[in-house]
Structure 1
Amino acid sequence: MAKVENRTLREIMTKDVETVSLKDNVYEVACKMRDWNVGSIPVVDEKHDVIGIITDRDIVIRGLAEKREGSAAIEQVMSRDIVLGRPDMTVDEAAKMMAEHQVRRLPVVDNGKLVGIVALADMAVRQVHQDEASEALNQISEPASRH
């Protein structure tokens, strides 16, 4: 059986991505996550450049567990060291990158501007990429090695 040509992130990414800025607070982000039914939201600056991401886990670990108020600034709980994808990356490349960095969601940027987001689930629901997504999930789920 011939291998199907590998698709790019542009073809599978979610293009309509909601974002937040540093002007929002943790409570507002949590409400947006609930309303949009998402577990992560990219954080952008005034120019719409991606400067971080905030996840439901960030809110729990860096917010609630640190006893921060709901009015705490996003800056206190967001992840700044994020991995970014490009629209022209193949799904294979993205899956390997996500596995290497143990991330489940990959903001996709073009010239620094957010153009979409790909979740591991986006890869898994597409039959052609099931193996790549499965392999990435296995690697993401492994505990990170301590140095």
Structure 2
Amino acid sequence: MKVSNCMTTDVQITDPDQTLREVAAMMGRLDAGALPVAENDRLVGMITDRDITIRGVAEGKGPDAKVRDVMSTDVKYCFDDEDLEDVLHNMGDLQVRRLPVLNRSKRLVGIISLGDLAMKGETMETGRALSGISQRGGAHSQTAH
């Protein structure tokens, strides 16, 4: 199965100059824990509720701090025409629960999460990815910065 068969296509994006307050409110309205960050029609980062908590609040940044001050800029992504099994393996290796999905022109076309995959019946592969993601530390550890 291809990523395009499982991804969420209705993805909201944020701007690096938006405030943490604005993005947190957007996440609340969307019931989402992560948003892609785009600038000039290009993906430049991801911001999660955890980024806001650990890199924002815990470091003394207020609600008017900018998204660019706490977002992750080392964005990992996948392509919409990739095989799910490869992407799941990659998610486990990268220790991420979701990935932005780009087309081959590198335009954001969706986002894929372990939840999307579990809902589509990819439970065995999703479980293996979650096992890798659940290991302590890794490149996306909040304490590794």
Establish whether TM, by shorter chain, passes 0.5: yes
User: Equivalents in 2 of 1:84, 1:134: separation in Å?
Assistant: 20
Asked which structure has the greater CA Rg, the reply is 1
User: Equivalents in 2 of 1:24, 1:142: separation in Å?
Assistant: 32
User: Equivalents in 1 of 2:46, 2:32: separation in Å?
Assistant: 12
Higher mean alpha-carbon deviation, 18-27 vs 32-41, is at 18-27
Q: Which amino acid in the other structure matches residue 82 of structure 1?
A: V
Describe the superposition over 1:68-92 as per-residue Cα deviations: whole angstroms up to 9, x where unpaired. Answer: 0100011110000121110001110
**Residue 102 (1) aligns with residue 82 (2):** no
Aligned partner of 2:82 in structure 1 is: 89
Shift of 1:9: 0.6
Shift of 1:112: 1.9
Aligned partner of 1:61 in structure 2 is: 54
Q: Where does 1:116-127 land on structure 2 (aligned, <5 Å)?
A: 116-127=110-121
Q: Which amino acid in the other structure matches residue 115 of structure 2?
A: A
- Structure 2: tracts of 5 or more residues without a match: 139-143
Identity, in percent, stands at 36
Would you say how many aligned residue pairs link Structure 1 and Structure 2?
A: 138
Shift of 1:144: 2.9
The alignment partner of 1:139 has SS state of: helix
Aligned partner of 1:75 in structure 2 is: 68
| Stretches (4+) displaced over 4 A | none
Aligned partner of 2:18 in structure 1 is: 24
**Residue 41 (1) aligns with residue 35 (2):** yes
- Structure 1: tracts of 5 or more residues without a match: 1-6
Q: TM-score, normalised by structure 2?
A: 0.92
**How large is the Cα RMSD of the aligned pairs?**
1.2
